[in-house]
Amino acid sequence: MSFLVFVQSFEAREGAIRTYVLFMICLSLTAIGVSIGMHIGELIYPDSEFIRSGFARNWNGGSAGMFGIIGASSHQARKAWLVPTIAIVFEMWNHFINGIGTLTSTAHIVSMTVGFLLWGYWISSHSESRAIKEKRDS
């Protein structure tokens, strides 16, 4: 359900192509970044059960792409800090109360950061997003 709310809201303002491309870029960069971190961690701490458990499971990654969209959605809000704050509080609840894994929570936060930075760069230098145009025109 949350996938529909956040991604569909972003897609309605920015279009399907931009949403898809951003989703896939956030997903890919997060996968590469977390994988590199795990491999470096294995070199530094070869006996780490935490790293070993990360390598022992598969990674689906769709939720990380969604968090990238959530990060990008911050630029559509009146207060850009509000959306990431809500997502971080949710992720803390998800980790400490709901019991989601540390690597999954890390991937979510990394992807949200990538989405925030990437979309901020995109709308500031390459083209104006539709949401920014709507704010300016109203």
Distance, in Å, from the CA atom of 24 to the CA atom of 3, rounded to the nearest integer, reads 14
User: Does the structure show a pLDDT above 80 at 134?
Assistant: no
Distance, in Å, from the CA atom of 42 to the CA atom of 64, rounded to the nearest integer, reads 22
Model confidence, pTM: 0.82
Distance, in Å, from the CA atom of 117 to the CA atom of 124, rounded to the nearest integer, reads 11
Residue 86 φ/ψ region, left for φ over 0, alpha for ψ in the -120 to 50 degree band, beta for the rest: alpha
Kindly give the interhelix angle for 2-14 and 16-44, rounded to the nearest 10 degrees.
120
| Among 122, 121, 108, 101, CA closest to 30 | 108
**pLDDT at res. 59:** 77
**pLDDT at res. 8:** 87
- Please name the helix (run of DSSP H) or strand (run of DSSP E) that holds residue 106, with its range, or none: helix 102-121
Phi, psi for 87 (deg, rounded to 5): -65, -40
Predicted confidence (pLDDT) per residue in 15-71, tens digit: 999 999 999 999 999 999 999 999 999 999 999 998 998 898 887 778 899 999 999
Half-sphere exposure of 115 (CA within 13 A, CB side): 36
Most confident by average pLDDT, 111-115, 126-130, 133-137: 111-115
Average pLDDT of every residue of the chain: 87
